Structure 1
Amino acid sequence: MDGTPKLDRVLGVAAWAVMAGGLLVDLFVRGAAAEPNRGVLFTTLVVFFLVLCVRLVLALRRRTRRRSALRLLLVGLIVWAAESAFVAGATVPASGRHLSAGELLFLVAYLAFVLYLLMDTEHRAGHAVSTWLEVAVLCGGSASVASVLLLTPLANRFGGGAPLLIALLYPVTDLVLALLVIGQVALRVRSRSRLTGALALGFLAMAAADTTFVGNVTLGNVGTTRLTALLWGAGFALIIGAACRLRPDAPLPASRAVPGPVLMCAAVAAVVVLAVHPGGAIAPYVVIPGAVTLLAAGGRLVLALREARDAAEAFALARTDDLTLLPNRRAVLARVDEHIAANRPLSLVLMDLNGFKEINDALGHLTGDRVLAICARRMREALPQSIQVARFGGDEFALTVSDDDPIAVLEIAQRARAALSQPTYVEGLELVVDAAAGVAVREPSDKESVALMRRADVAMYQAKTSGAGALLYDPAHDEHSRAKLQLAEELRHGIVSGQMVLWYQPQVHASTLEVYGLEALVRWQHPTQGLIPPVAFLPLARQTGLMAAVSEAVAARAVADLHRWQADGMDVRVSLNCAAPELLSGVFSRRLEREALDGAVELSSFTIEVTEDSFLADPERTRATLYKLRRLGLGISIDDYGTGFSSLAYLRDLPLDELKLDRSFISAMVSDRRSRMIVESTLHMAHALELRVVGEGVENGATSAALVAMGADVLQGYHLARPMPPEAVPEWIASRASSFWPAD
């Protein structure tokens, strides 16, 4: 629906009905062979144009933006109707080889029609030369064909000069109006729609009617016949109908308004017309549009060739690095995709220069650009032309090799690295540039370039961090490999389904060897892989954002185990590890508090172990968080003390209860004098600050005896007990009650 009111539709149908009804009445009264009855014809035209005028007036009342254009169309319609009614009602029919001078008043109506078309546009005209040439080709070709079809019948009836000009005036004007509509479409100021088509068709019907009228007059017959009346009526009905109907407010398409095949047909039509055009006085009216069409088509062809050349240059520039003139990332991706689509062997080598940032910082970016250009030239000269050498940007290069032999591709990568490592003299300095290279070989499962590039990038990163020079992609070092993604999904499901379990390692008093507490250590009870240690899944949990969920599962399980033990009469403490993000977010402490409340367990039975790196990211926030934990009744322990920040300031300012000396100092203290001194001095300092000291990693009796002699408070390690499942804890504690001798 276009929103046209119902009355407008009724008037549109009424106009066609009046014209058809009048002609049928005339045929019934006079017969098909007789001339039309002037009275019937006059009455039909009056009623017909009256309906059209009423329709336009109603449209004027509904429109605001198009009101001026519609007024001009109404003026033209009234002038044309008045003049045609006068001609139809004249007692002496127009005849002979000349038209009535009074009929030149029709020019006023046509001037109004031209102004209407110019004002009633939907968009502003474009100014591209190619667009105007396309318009010239389209309109010129149409004019050539229309001239032959409409004007040739009049060619032999006039000798030229003024009579021919008068005879052709109205048909040519109608044709120009139709071409104006077509040109506006080509210029993108009028949309390609049914309404536009009706408008152009209306003016073409007028041209056919005027041609018939002129032909009848020049033969000495009555100019206005049933056919001319029908054509005029159809033309005006289409024009007024297109003007009165509402157009949708939609932008014109950004694509070219004139398709290539249409332009080609217009040019071919002009060539055919020029080849077979009629001679005589009418020839200029046919030849001139045809010549204009061919000239415009030639100009458009020249522009098209220039545009094609510019597009080719732009395409090449889009795939070329400006600095090194090597192919860029876009070119590499295109070549990789081509090889994958063709199922051809392919390997990708990504290379990153080592220490290039220092060159830029010390010598400037201009010198850095010179180094990059030298590196590009050396690799291009050292490698066969079949290998695509490209620069990805910055100090990163890529080699695209049409081979899937990993050994051969690694040799190519080493050859490129060797070319780069030759001394380079820049700014009076001798520089040696090295590079890390990652190699990825196309796999049958690769469907696009992104997968291959990602694997090469992983291999390059591993080569850079390990200092290996050049490495082949290894899924074991890929944090986002398919296997790890699958394991992450299994971990997500395992957390929800309760597969996280806790094992506990006992802690004992150093002086009495009585049980002091238990450290909770998380495990994953995988349904198919069995018990998975934390080192195998906690890094994955951190990478995939599941660490908070793991911590919540640990809190719930620890509260449940402690509640069961306390119900059995066991009085023990449980230490829980908490990573810095969970500590600072408060998620872990809130979950532990809620679980303890639901499980009727005192929070004072728990100690939270945090590492020293928790204080580095946000010391003030960490301080506030620890004080909040202390207010809840939780104990606070520094885990792995001595391996991190190790500042005395936080020992003084934070609400701490104990320090857990890192196992690296404990395990070496018997044989290493410096480690022994560090442990001994830490014990003295901690005791002076009224902090409890836990020695973890006690693996033998000698270490245990040394810690006891130094005054350690709590011991933990395999020499005393290994981590055990929760159901084994009561039995172990019972056995400790009957014997204080540690188990080897």
Structure 2
Amino acid sequence: MDVSEKLAGRSRPLLAPSPATRMFAALRVALVASLGCFWIYHVAAAPRLGSWGGLDHLLFHVPLAISAAACWARFRTHAGSAQAWLTMSAAHAFFLAGSVYAVLCTPSVIDSPTPADALWLLSYGCMYVSIGLFARSRSHEFRASAWLDGAIGGFGAASLVTVFVLGDVLQATGGGLTVVIVNLAYPVADLILVLLLVVVAMAVATVDRVWWLVSAGLLLFFIGDVAYLYEVTAQEFTGLGLIELTWPTGVGLMGLAATLPSPVIVPRTALAHRYLVPTLFSCLALTLLVYGQRHQLPVLAVVFAMVTIGLAVGRLALSARELRAMGRLRSEARTDFLTGLPNRRHLFERLNEATGVAHGSTSLLVIDLDGFKEVNDSLGHHVGDELLRMVGQRLAGTVEEPAMLARLGGDEFAVVLPGQDAERAAATANELRRLLRTPFELDGLPVAVSASVGVATSPGHGTTGARVLAEADIALYQAKAKGSGVATFRQDHTNPSRQRLELMSELSLAFERKEFMVFYQPQLRLRDRDVFGVEALIRWDHPTRGLTPPAEFLPLLRQSGETSRLTHLVLGQGMADLARFRVERSDLRLSVNISAGDLADMSLPATVKELSDTWQLGPGALVLELTEDDVISDLALSRAVLMQLRLAGSLVSVDDYGTGQASLAYLRDLPLDEIKLDRTFLADGATDLHNAAIVRSTIELAHALRLPVVAEGIEDGPTLEWLSSLGCDAGQGHFIGHPMPAEKVLSWLSDLLGPDSPP
């Protein structure tokens, strides 16, 4: 059976696992094997020998070392939670160092606290920091105050445990209080860690197998530490029981978690759930202190309860500061920075609130300044900005509650008019137009401004804020086209122009409502049939039309000048997802399409560099694709910007080659790294002599210029084999893999790895 038949007949192609996947698979096997050997020897052989020997100590420490190495390896390959894995690796290293010191330098760990205790307790502190860093990488809502929640719960639980569980133990200590205090620190630290995990699980809602393994490991630590405290206090610790199994197994489970992929973005639950743990244990600690006024309590229990109350007070102070900061951020997010007016987001909130009222009408005015572009071009953008501020101030002096004035963006303003029908709204629009006719003093010059206004009313023209805004935009277009100044939406505006305007208005809302989705199509290296990259493809999840392909909305975005905004969105989401994909395939790369308009965006190279640093993606991880016409539209600008992008670490590819006006000879002086052959030449390429000649000559010329060729639109096995025989370097198409969302890419990549994929 040839390769194409295997690809067609199997649900997952025979692709080699990446080096990182093989490494983590080997670490998993080594970790499980070392734990198995320690369990078998300790349960079967150690009791007969009567004491620990060299082999016991070796088998005890091997899982600790492997776990530290696994966490370090995850730090080196996992961008999303890299610092968390580094800290967890340090925790396991400190625990290992403490255990080695106890074996080599301490004759008995029962007599008195030793440096080993300091190393062990330091490992608990590192685990606490690691869990907090995990939470921050998974949820931006894990704020500074949440770090205290685990400590509040841990000390509160410790006060209760000290009274009701460890009371007899403390009474039996006699003169060994120092030893018991040190040993009691371990279960207290365990409680703090476990309850921090509970707090984080409530904050992020969805927990995965990594989280469960870390939780299970910490639970084993807690069981072992409590049992050890009982046995040491009673002077019954022999080192030959089941207690010794808990610590290496607990560390091993956390190390095993490091070998498994974990998601970067996890949904969060309702805000109230996050306060359950600190509130509950603060109340319990306070109740315990009140109870202690009439009953004798262990001193440690009182100390733990007071620490809990102190931490709770600190938590309240931090929460108050965060709430004030959130209030400021919310206000800034709903305010236009230039004019100080409510922005588009705030407008939608008010408009949706007004249109949701069951009785009465609500009208919307969309105001566009006529001739504003000429002011910008002739007097400069700083004068144009000043004009917008002055227009906003003048309109704000007239629009009164319950009406609301907002700036939509550019030279567009909007006014929500609750309780006004279409007729009254049109009259208000004419009043505002007359108000703007008084000249503005700009740079010593009187500047007269006129405006066009579109009017739409709910419920007559729409029952949602988005619908009403779309209708007002259409009416504004009619006002400008007819020169009438004010136009009210009419139902007979049902023509292609209306539909196009409606789609444009919905596009602007799509950014706010986060309706754009990034899909990814795999790219296959034809030489060894290995997946080496994915191309990011934008889709619009329209609320009524469903998934809308880019051919239907990209031309409108270009006309509205929003392509750069979309490019930044795709780059941000795509590079975040690439960090996730690289857990499965550490050498995977991402291809993103940009346009000629993006070449004029001077912030693009800095954005690429910042995103690469944020997600720890090295040079060559990102490929930026431009069509040949975009490249040659301004060769000087293209050459300069492409050089900056390459310095920022990205590669450059010419997309849809063969459909434009350029030639390879024309492109040879540009800083290019790849040619993408357009799909039109692959149709019947193996049998169409004309297309076959074009494909063959393109591959030969590209290779002569040392440029690899990627073929688009591979739809069947024979085409793949034909391209491979011509020396084509790589390809993509539905035969290799359909475009899919990020979550499916992760499972798709796992399936490709076959039995070597994570369990």
TM-score between the two structures when normalised by the length of structure 2? 0.48
Which structure carries more relative contact order (alpha carbon 8 Å, separation 6+)? 2
With normalisation by structure 1, the TM-score equals 0.49
> Whose Rg is larger?
1
